[in-house]
Structure 1
Amino acid sequence: MGAYQEKKTTCGTVCMKYLLFTFNFLFWLAGGAVMAVGIWTVAAKSDYISLLSSRIYAVSAYILILAGVIVMVTGVLGCCATFKEQRRLLRVYFVLLLCIFLLEILAGVLAYIYYQQLNEELKNNLKETMVQKYRQADQDHVTKAVDKLQQEFKCCGSKNSSDWTESVWIHSGDAQGRTVPDSCCKTQTELCGKRDHPSNIYKVEGGCITKLEMFIMEHLKIIGAVGVGIASVQIIGMIFTCCLYRSLKSEPY
């Protein structure tokens, strides 16, 4: 009876080991995906971050990058802990899983909070950023972001093209008679911004605010979904780890 019980327990441990190993492999792949989403958000879309007064959007992405790196390291540690059957390593692995879980939940919560306040922030700050900082000294990142925004989303100004009448740059000699930046033009050429007729420049209802808000909201949904989704999967990993830990603890030496 005792030999049967030992064999049964050992078989259960082996099954749990392979389940946890499979989870760790998938978890390692998920870590790469999480890190990729964070890097993509920061690197590929970093120009628009300079147009936002809050840093929550960027922070959420950086948290995902950090979580992704830790996930990939933790996945390797989890495989080692599983096959070496060391309870100490399993404890460290469990703690790391818990930390990553909290980090990803935090990224998801930050994304949700910022999602709620994004419209108000853009209304209050985008126009001021565009008219006060465009083409000004030490504001090349803002100039680049505004030009990219207007060309990529085919819009002009914060709410409409008339916002540029308040621009510091437009009222300076540097504008060379332009009424809007050349990036407002449907066909961008040097000094095309002198003519602000609808046939020449973009006259989009809602201006760039609407376009940028929709763009960032879509990215926040992705950040939130990835963070909360991977965190939910980790619960399974923590359950497997606890089961294996208890199984090893109960086995005879």
Structure 2
Amino acid sequence: MSGITLVGSKVILAVGNFFLLACGFTLVTGGMLILFDTERILLSKLLTAGPFSELAQPYLYYVAIGLALLGLILAAAGILGCWASCLHNYWLLSLYFFLVMIVLISECSIYAVAWLWPQCMGLGLDSEALVKNLQRNYGVSGQEQFTAAIDLAQSHFNCCGINTANEYDTSLWRLQGLGQPLAVPLTCCVLQNRQEYKAYLNPVPVNSSLCQALERNTHDTYRHVNGCQERIDFWYRQLYVAFLGVGLGVVLVEFTVLLSTVLTCTRVYHHNQESKENAQNQAQDLEGASTDYAFQRGTGAGQGGAYSNEIYAMTDSFRQNYKLLDKV
């Protein structure tokens, strides 16, 4: 590291800032894509537990907004870093260093909690709580979003209920006759329009009467009998690993930028010190040269010669006498 020059350290910082800027734009793009992926966001409604289950929007909606905001912060930091790398301003680089360090510490804290204790952040799939929510909220007025999330999971993963379709037998949807005369929701049936966009909002069973039959040997071919818990859990783990992988990549880029910023700060500091020392040495050299020149002039004037003061005095006296004679 000691052999790297100021220009070399600035090149390293500029490259690091380029990757930081690229990470920022990637996070902004990813956050916007997630926001427009309504089905993925709706499905995340089933992942939240505890007080987070009462959020106005699904959990992934807030995660997408957080990713977009983080991307904007990283993009702004990358632009600031590119500007700072072009200047010899030690304080601007220090400000940039503390900004990136604060973002890095915050991200590491969030990722550590999400990795070690995801339930603290409302993440995870609690099967028992999800079954209770299904029996209490499915098909109930005011719970349209949760109902749509269950229907989406059942039509997308070809499943019925959380652990089994029998959970609907003791649900408010069945007991209060909200779905009468259905025994299970239509999304539990094998659908003709499964490949259509938002088929879960308008499901068309292959055979609705056989799907709603109570005998297993009758509805077995036309109804999904497996629960959704395993498939939802697998989908959640894939999403979880993807977010942690992206976060790890961003943290590595930020850590590299911090190291390059420290290197550039030290080089800028030494460069400024050398500039000050060179300026002081030049000033001392100029002052010494001017002193020697003045001393040499004074020594030359003290010696006799054609340009001594006595000659100038005699010449002036002669001119005065000449003027007097001229007047006479």
Shift of residue 246 of structure 1? 1.2
What is the DSSP-based 3-state SS (H/G/I as helix, E as strand, rest coil) of the residue aligned with 2:220? coil
Shift of residue 230 of structure 1? 1.5
Instruction: Tell me: CA distance 1:139–1:95, structure 2 relative to 1, closer, same or farther (3 Å).
Output: same
Instruction: Tell me: CA distance 1:126–1:241, structure 2 relative to 1, closer, same or farther (3 Å).
Output: same
What is the DSSP-based 3-state SS (H/G/I as helix, E as strand, rest coil) of the residue aligned with 1:137? coil
Does residue 190 of structure 2 align to residue 195 of structure 1?
no
| Percent identical | 22
Instruction: Tell me: CA distance 1:37–1:217, structure 2 relative to 1, closer, same or farther (3 Å).
Output: farther
Question: Which residue of the partner structure matches residue 86 of structure 1?
Answer: 89
Of residues 18, 24, 28, the one that matches 2:11 is 18
In 2, Cα distance between equivalents of 1:106 and 1:60: 16
In 2, Cα distance between equivalents of 1:20 and 1:153: 47
8 Å contact kept, 1:105–1:231: yes
Instruction: Tell me: CA distance 1:131–1:39, structure 2 relative to 1, closer, same or farther (3 Å).
Output: farther
Number of aligned positions between the proteins: 243
In 2, Cα distance between equivalents of 1:112 and 1:39: 24
Does residue 66 of structure 2 align to residue 53 of structure 1?
no
Shift of residue 91 of structure 1? 1.4
Structure 1 length-normalised TM = 0.84
8 Å contact kept, 2:16–2:253: no
Shift of residue 231 of structure 1? 0.8
Q: Give the root-mean-square deviation of aligned CA atoms.
A: 2.8
Partner amino acid, structure 1, of 2:42? D
Question: Which residue of the partner structure matches residue 313 of structure 2?
Answer: none
Question: Which residue of the partner structure matches residue 4 of structure 1?
Answer: none
Structure 2 length-normalised TM = 0.66
Question: Which residue of the partner structure matches residue 3 of structure 1?
Answer: none
Question: Which residue of the partner structure matches residue 160 of structure 1?
Answer: 164
Question: Which residue of the partner structure matches residue 27 of structure 2?
Answer: 34
Question: Which residue of the partner structure matches residue 5 of structure 1?
Answer: none
In 2, Cα distance between equivalents of 1:199 and 1:159: 19
Instruction: Tell me: CA distance 1:41–1:102, structure 2 relative to 1, closer, same or farther (3 Å).
Output: farther
Shift of residue 201 of structure 1? 1.1
Does residue 80 of structure 2 align to residue 77 of structure 1?
yes
In 2, Cα distance between equivalents of 1:72 and 1:201: 50
Q: Which has the higher contact order (CA 8 A, sep 6+)?
A: 1
Of residues 227, 238, 251, the one that matches 1:231 is 251
What is the DSSP-based 3-state SS (H/G/I as helix, E as strand, rest coil) of the residue aligned with 1:170? helix
Partner amino acid, structure 2, of 1:213? D
Gaps of 5+ in 1: 1-7
Partner amino acid, structure 1, of 2:253? V
8 Å contact kept, 2:49–2:124: no
Instruction: Tell me: CA distance 1:108–1:37, structure 2 relative to 1, closer, same or farther (3 Å).
Output: farther
* The structure with more radius of gyration: 2
In 1, Cα distance between equivalents of 2:181 and 2:135: 16
8 Å contact kept, 2:135–2:171: yes
Instruction: Tell me: CA distance 1:119–1:223, structure 2 relative to 1, closer, same or farther (3 Å).
Output: closer
Instruction: Tell me: CA distance 1:114–1:60, structure 2 relative to 1, closer, same or farther (3 Å).
Output: farther
Of residues 171, 177, 182, the one that matches 2:175 is 171
Any idea what the Cα deviations from partners look like across 1:185-205, whole Å, max 9, x if unmatched? 11242793633611111122x
In 2, Cα distance between equivalents of 1:93 and 1:63: 21
8 Å contact kept, 2:19–2:253: no
Shift of residue 147 of structure 1? 0.6
Shift of residue 29 of structure 1? 0.7
Gaps of 5+ in 2: 54-58, 192-202, 277-328
Partner amino acid, structure 2, of 1:127? V
Partner amino acid, structure 2, of 1:53? A
Any idea what the Cα deviations from partners look like across 1:105-129, whole Å, max 9, x if unmatched? 1332233135589997422211111
8 Å contact kept, 2:139–2:173: yes
What is the DSSP-based 3-state SS (H/G/I as helix, E as strand, rest coil) of the residue aligned with 2:140? coil
